[in-house]
């Protein structure tokens, strides 16, 4: 009888941990959507978020602005990771993200997060 209770308790703990992890992922995703305006179908909302991240108002995102926005989602971002993101999405190689480049990054957001998390580990 004790063995079945132990197995049952372990299964309950596993289920609880999975639920907590799912809730955390949802909260993180909600925050990312709030910070980055990740609804690609709504260009107006996406542009509004881009403009909020563009704190100096020059119409482009510099590395410092992107770093601050990424860190709002609870992720630490290394210089190396930022360099890789800019190498990948700064198509005109001018050292900043235009709105179109930002949209491309958001479109591939899952890959971006994997890159950031991989660099952090």
pLDDT in tens, 91-105: 999 999 999 998 888
**Surface-to-core class of residue 81, CB atoms within 10 Å of its CB (0-12 exposed, 13-18 middle, 19+ buried):** buried
Q: Which CATH superfamily groups domain 2-120?
A: EF-hand (1.10.238.10)
Q: Which helix (H) or strand (E) holds 69?
A: helix 63-72
Distance of alpha carbon 52 from alpha carbon 69, whole angstroms:
9
Q: How confident is the model at residue 2 (pLDDT cuts 50, 70, 90)?
A: low
Q: Which residue has better confidence, 103 or 59?
A: 59
Q: What is the mean pLDDT of residues 102-112?
A: 82
pLDDT at 39: 60
pLDDT in tens, 19-37: 776 666 666 566 566 656 6
């Amino acid at each position: 009888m004790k063995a079945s209770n132990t197995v049952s308790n372990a299964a309950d703990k596993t289920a609880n941990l999975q639920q907590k992890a799912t809730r955390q992922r949802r909260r993180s995703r909600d925050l990312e959507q709030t910070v980055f305006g990740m609804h690609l179908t709504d260009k107006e909302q996406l542009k509004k978020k881009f403009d909020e991240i563009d704190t100096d108002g020059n119409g482009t995102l510099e590395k410092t602005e992107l770093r601050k926005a990424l860190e709002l989602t609870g992720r630490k971002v290394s210089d190396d990771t930022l360099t890789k993101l800019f190498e990948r999405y700064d198509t005109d190689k001018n050292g900043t993200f235009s709105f179109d480049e930002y949209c491309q990054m958001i479109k591939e957001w899952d890959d971006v997060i994997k890159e950031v998390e991989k660099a952090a580990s």
